[in-house]
Amino acid sequence: MWSRNGLAQDVQEGSALNDRIDPRITRTVRAFEQAVVELASERPVSQITVAELADRAGVTRATFYNRYSTPLDPLIQVLHDDLERAHRREDEVRAQGGHSARELLRLATAGVADHVERFTDVYRNSLADPADSGVYEALVRHFGEYTLAFLARTEPAGVRGADRRVIAQFMAHGFAGAIKAWLGDPSVTKDDLVDAAVACAPAWWTSGSTPDAASQQRRSS
């Protein structure tokens, strides 16, 4: 269960870099983000009205529309910021060196699983509502962008000549589908999810490939 104390802390961290010039704007953003997570933990975000979100945040509807279009917008921002924090931890471990590609994949997958656990009610409510596809689509989009970044960084030989956008969508829907299966089956543990995701990863992802000499030369030229 997502605690309000934990929510306040993570929302504050997620928004710390936003709107530094005007603290009032920062406080408003945090209020909206905390309020929307609380409400989305109770029912799907598609059933949340702007009026009740503004009321929970303690601001006006006009203030909401100054920044957002729908309650989904601040919710996606919270989820995105939390996922990015997990990836930054992954980057820190990668920079230390001494870890295989498989170990890094396990770390990244575990970080995503921790994120989903922090927002379990949000994801479960969203996946249970046919009208609420926005959260799942955002998760797919995030994994797609992550895959494209991975391909650009490692340039694995196993995918040369293939359309990277298609590869990214293939991987993204696979990871998101695994999370959906995990949330839909109480018998599946977080470790089960991580083990399955790593086992399904293609060889080019876990082989630890590095950019070839030609690619490095192109970058330096």
**What confidence tens digit (pLDDT) does each residue in 56-96 have?**
999 999 999 999 999 999 999 999 999 998 888 888 988 88
pLDDT at 90: 86
Give the count of beta carbons closer than 10 Å to the beta carbon of residue 114: 13
Residue 148 is which amino acid?
Answer: L
Kindly list the distances between the CA atom of residue 86 and the CA atoms of 57, 66, 83, 191, 203, in Å, as whole numbers in the listed order: 26, 29, 5, 17, 24
**What confidence tens digit (pLDDT) does each residue in 110-128 have?**
999 999 999 999 999 999 8
pLDDT at 16: 46
Contact in structure between 41 and 47 (CB atoms under 8 Å)? no
Distance separating alpha carbons of residues 196 and 58, to the nearest angstrom: 43
Percent of the chain with pLDDT over 90: 66
Distance separating alpha carbons of residues 212 and 209, to the nearest angstrom: 9
Counting every residue, how long is the chain?
A: 221
Distance separating alpha carbons of residues 219 and 221, to the nearest angstrom: 6
Q: Is the pLDDT of residue 211 over 50?
A: no
pLDDT at 128: 87
Q: What's the pTM?
A: 0.79
Percent of the chain with pLDDT over 70: 84
- Nearest by Cα to 191 from 123, 135, 126, 109: 109
Distance separating alpha carbons of residues 132 and 117, to the nearest angstrom: 19
Q: How confident is the model at residue 108 (pLDDT cuts 50, 70, 90)?
A: very high
pLDDT at 3: 42
Q: How confident is the model at residue 8 (pLDDT cuts 50, 70, 90)?
A: very low
Query: In angstroms, how far is CA 33 from the centroid of its own chain?
Result: 15
Six-digit token pair at 171? 């991987």
pLDDT at 4: 42
Q: Is the pLDDT of residue 215 over 60?
A: no
Give the 3-state secondary structure of residue 145.
helix
